[in-house]
Structure 1
Amino acid sequence: MKAMGEKRSGPRFEWHFGNVATWVSAALTDANTCVDGFAGKALNGRMKSGIEARFTNAAQFISNALALVNKYGGGH
Structure 2
Amino acid sequence: MLCNASLSVTLNATYKASFSIDSLSKMRGLSPSEKQIIGDCAETTGDALDELQESLKALANMQGSNHSANEMSDLKTWVSAALTNEYTCTDEFDGQKVREAVKNTINKRVLYLAKLTSNYLALFNLLY
Q: Which of the five TM-score ranges fits, normalised by the shorter chain?
A: 0.5 to 0.7
User: CA shift at 1:5, angstroms?
Assistant: 8.4
Specify the structure having the higher radius of gyration (Cα). 1
- Percentage identity across paired residues of the two chains: 37
Give the counterpart of 2:120 among 41, 45, 65.
65
TM-score (norm 1): 0.67
Poorly superposed stretches of 4+, deviation over 2 Å: 4-7, 45-50
Question: What does the per-residue CA deviation read over 1:31-51, in whole Å, with 9 as the maximum and x for residues that have no partner?
Answer: 0012222x1545x03332321
Specify every segment of 5 or more residues in structure 2 that has no aligned partner in the other structure, as ranges.
2-62
Residue 90 of structure 2 is matched in structure 1 by 35
Distance 2:75 2:127 in 1: 11
Residues 35 and 51 in structure 1, CA contact (< 8 A), matched pair in contact too: yes
Give the counterpart of 1:26 among 81, 84, 87.
81
Distance 1:6 1:58 in 2: 29
Residues 90 and 106 in structure 2, CA contact (< 8 A), matched pair in contact too: yes
Aligned to 1:50, the other structure's residue is in SS state: helix
TM-score (norm 2): 0.43
